A and B are shown apart, each in its own frame.
Chain A
Amino acid sequence: MSRFLGSSITKKITMALLGLFLILFLPVHLGINFLLLKSDPEPFNKAAHFMATFWLIKGFEVLLLASFLLHIFYGIFLQIQNWLARGKQYKITNYSQTSFFSKFMIWTGLIIFIFLIIHFMNFYFIKIGWVQGDPENFYGVAHQLFKIPAYIILYIFSFLILGFHLAHAFWSAFQTLGWNTTVLSLVFKGLGTLFAILIPLGFTIIPLVIFFTK
């Protein structure tokens, strides 16, 4: 059993499953964020309140946080092993045809991680009382933040980076799960590219609309 749990393939499969779970959460989050575009703060705050109090979602939240932490832990762990596996570096780095964004997963991942910390300070930490603010009016908090140009730039940059992470991650997860045949591979690559464009685009439109219209 330890041979199974400690195996590199088990670690990758765990990462892939956790990653897919995180991927599933993104459209849900985006859907709620679109409520920020309404001039009435009620629907968004209600949704946020529901997310914060409904027991099922609360369980889900713990799961989500754990997924993030484990995904990040394994990501860093595997990356360090990968660096060590080369030993002496080549003088001329390989430029083989590859899945381009796969080379930067650790860096795009770490940038997402930094963004998440900022994001948590803005919302989650208010909720649990670590940071001052009104947990019943996240609509207001978001609208305030989206009036700060520097914050919008950081926000858009982070989602661009998330797009880069997803551009490889989506397809890669299915390959890791062994679901790839020649045909399926093309399907997942296509869907992955679409997902990596649409999700960040959706997230970045919201602050721009708020900044320029409200």
Chain B
Amino acid sequence: MNITLKIWRQKNEHAKGKFVTYKLDDVSKEMTFLEMLDYLNEKLIKEGNDPVAFDSDCREGICGMCGLYINGRPNGPKKGVTACQLSMSVFKDGDTITVEPWRAKAFPVIKDLIVNRNAFDKIIQVGGYISVTTGSAPEANSIPVKKENAERAFDSGICIGCGACVAACKNASAMLFIGAKVSQLALLPQGRVEAKERVKTMVAKMDELGFGNCSNTGACEAECPKEIKLTNIARLNREFYKANLS
């Protein structure tokens, strides 16, 4: 396939940045989106140009590093996939693909398509964990967990912290991410112990870091590669006022 790429290039956090157009022929339908970018970069390096900087690690949809805003959608036109899982077979010969970094005030661009997602780490650091004494893992069946809650906690726990929800949201809100992180712990007995303090500190941090407010628009749910549900935001709100009013 022949593909035209319009890619955001920006030298560093403070540089102005602009779109640069690249033409690639011989793009195979079997490539993933990131392999296509690797292919472009090999070409750029051979020509003595600066390769396009983009993030990736696992390349199998589990680490959450690779987020790209492709043709107006986080991770491109396919539902429920990360950029590394996106196959070039969703594009046609002659297509023009515009690639932008996540845009949010809380996620500044570091270089080209790479953004700084430390804001998420900061939110996790103030409460997205449980305090346990270290040692060998306790016997799994000593604390009974309702099957339903175990399943719900798992559905929330699969959030990979990629930030596609923030990128998709018209308000750059992080509520789906925090909803998932608060839910996965709030649903389990081990997490309940610190549930009240957790939801308060995480929400306060989120506000402080400049994420927008939730309008219940649902773009996050539509674009989340792990298909985290809006019910997590409803639970977050419940947890939040329960923690503050009791």
Please report A residues at the B interface, Cβ cutoff 8 Å: 3-4, 6-13, 78, 81-82, 84-99, 102-103, 105, 168, 171-172, 175-182, 185
Contacts and interface: CB of A to CB of B under 8 A. Distances in A.
Interface residues of B, number: 50
Interface stretch (B45-53, B103-111, B136-144): B103-111
A82 B171 contact: yes
Contacts of A176: 214, 216, 237
B223 interface: yes
16 contacts: A4-B244, A8-B203, A8-B207, A10-B241, A12-B213, A84-B105, A84-B210, A86-B105, A87-B105, A90-B69, A90-B100, A91-B8, A96-B73, A99-B217, A102-B215, A105-B215
Contacts, number: 142
A86 B104 contact: yes
A90 to B, nearest CB: 5
A20 to B, nearest CB: 14
A87 to B, nearest CB: 4
The DSSP consensus for interface residues of chain B is mixed
B170 A103 contact: yes
A92 B100 contact: yes
Contacts of A10: 241, 244
Given A8-B207, A92-B98, A82 B170 contact: yes
Contacts of A93: 72
Contact of A98 (B103, B212, B217, B233): B217
Contact of A96 (B168, B230, B233): B168
A7 B238 CA distance: 14
Given A85-B172, A95-B72, A180 B241 contact: no
